Amino acid sequence: METMFPIYVFAAVLGCVLLLFSLGFGSDGDADVDVGDADFDADLEADTDAGHGDVAGLFTTFLSLRFWTFFATFFGLAGLVFDGLDILEGRVAPALAASAVGIAAGQVAVRVLRRLAQPAGGEVPEASAYVGKTGRVLLPVTRDGVGKVRIELAGRTVDVLARPAGDADLPAGSRAVIVEMRGETAIVDPFDV
């Protein structure tokens, strides 16, 4: 019976590389789609926001690249320990135990990091707090659609939907300044340093 040792090594190496890459580069690469209440971000992570305590929140973590990164890391490491040290006999028992460890690590990581990203005390800043803030365009802000801008607000990193104030499109990576808030959408102009 062939061992799963190479699979565990591959998963552990891949997961560790992704973790180190995300630690080193943080949120430098972004993409994102908003649909209804779901917010899918790719930032070397892909999160889906679901209500706190929602059963859906348990399952939407499986859509997160962050979940799969932690799953791969801990599945691989646990598999190496369980199989490599012959703690569990056979091929199925170590694989099931490693899968359980990976799922638990992924779920915990996603939930903890989502909790840390929430505003303290459920505070929602007033619309006027956004006006004048500058940030980086994550998704292109065009006349034809809604883009996204990342700003710093009240000591937190916040991503806001954005539309251009004028006719100029703002490409991803450019700088923008919020000149007005309309509901939850920022109206932005290019910001030249």
Q: What is the pLDDT of residues 33-92, one digit of tens each?
A: 445 445 545 444 444 444 445 555 566 777 788 889 999 999 999 999 998 888 888 889
Q: What is the pLDDT of residues 76-101, one digit of tens each?
A: 999 999 988 888 888 899 999 999 99
- What residues make up the domain containing 47? 5-118
- Whole-structure pTM value: 0.50
Tokens of 36: 């209804």
Number of domains in the chain: 2
CA distance 102 to 107: 9
Residues 6+ apart with CB under 8 A from 110: 47, 61, 64, 66, 67, 70
DSSP per position, 27-61: TSS-EEEEETTEEEEESSSEE----TT-HHHHHHG
pLDDT of residue 100: 96
- C-alpha to C-alpha distances, 130 to 76, 135, 146, 183, nearest whole angstrom: 43, 11, 17, 11
Task: Indicate if 22 and 108 belong to the same structural domain.
Answer: yes
Q: Which residue from 189, 193, 163, 162 is spatially nearest to 176, judged by alpha carbons?
A: 189
3-state secondary structure of 108: helix
Higher pLDDT, 64 or 9: 9
- Domain end point (choices 91, 118, 145): 118
Task: Indicate if 67 and 161 belong to the same structural domain.
Answer: no
Task: Indicate if 14 and 107 belong to the same structural domain.
Answer: yes
Instruction: Give the pLDDT band (50/70/90) at residue 122.
Output: low
Task: Indicate if 166 and 75 belong to the same structural domain.
Answer: no
Q: Which residue from 127, 128, 138, 139 is spatially nearest to 184, judged by alpha carbons?
A: 127
Tokens of 39: 């917010």
Give the CA-trace dihedral at 139, 140, 143, 148, to 10 degrees.
Answer: 30
Q: Compute the mean pLDDT over every residue in the chain, rounded to the nearest whole number.
A: 81
Tokens of 11: 């998963």
Q: What is the pLDDT of residues 155-179, one digit of tens each?
A: 888 889 999 998 889 999 999 999 9
pLDDT at 105 over 90: yes
pLDDT at 145 over 90: no
- Domain end point (choices 65, 86, 118): 118
DSSP type of residue 164:
E
Tokens of 157: 């990193």
